Structure 1
Amino acid sequence: MPGKHLLIVAHAPSENTRKLAEAALRGARHPDIESVSSRWLPPLEATPEDLLAADAILLGTTENLGYMSGALKDFFDRCYYPVLERKQGLPCALYIRAGHDGTGTRRAIESIVTGLRWNWVQPPLTLRGDWQDSFVEQVEELGLYLAAGLDNGVF
């Protein structure tokens, strides 16, 4: 049984954003990762209990009107206080599928993560502009990076 758990909470309202969430999961489940289990939950399904069971979290969202998706905001609204004192230091990463620049989305999530006292394992990944197939590879690498860090005790 794997010893660590990576939780992927990603909003995927379209075929392309679903490809991103699946890529994050595929990267996290790379064959070289031995002691980490991972799963993807849509933000509206993820609970405080899921978060409490996680050893790291990868967040994924679309940019909606210059802000995070309503689904991810709902996840934070429901989980913030139940996990606040118990998950400080949680390793985290973020990808944003931004049709524009993603700045407002990034700032809002960074503010919440700062309040939760989670630790960024790398800067947020913003996938800007028109869809590019390379977005899938970048998110897969992010999932692998997080899982490998957990697997090797880096975070």
Structure 2
Amino acid sequence: MTGPSLPIGPPAGDAGVGGAVPAQPVTLRVGLGGAAASGSLFDRIGGAPTFDRLVRRFYEGVQQDEVIWPMYPAEDLEGAIWRLSQFLQQYWGGPSTYSEHRGHPRLRMRHNPFRITPEAREHWLQHMHDAVESLDLAPLDEAELWGYLDRAAHAMTNSFD
């Protein structure tokens, strides 16, 4: 049994020069019927306040985690929060405050002193996922942010024993 046949190629009269279909503009939207995805992610999701909320929510989970909390400086939690928030803001198009204070991010080098196993990575990702979800971002923005965080977490893994 076969289904209905569908025409292949452009509708009659729509072919461009030489029979080619003219290119049609494509606009990516941040959500169903949402605004066009333009500008920096930093600006689209609300700037510094959004990244600050993200990082604070992330650290709420981390502080309860027996696997990864020992890697964080409990005596300098506010400093850790500031550094992560400033790094993410700069990465996503915000001010260059992180580099002005800390120099080049050098993520692998800065994380090298810590034993980051696949288990630790998955714990980090879970807390970050919860934090990202709490922002209730437009689907395209959430996917863009999450894709980077997931790749970065995998790149920081440095111990497999």
TM exceeding 0.5:
no
Find the structure with the greater CA-based Rg: 2
Higher relative contact order (CA 8 A, sep 6+): 1
TM-score (norm 1): 0.32
Larger helix share, 1 or 2: 2
TM-score (norm 2): 0.31
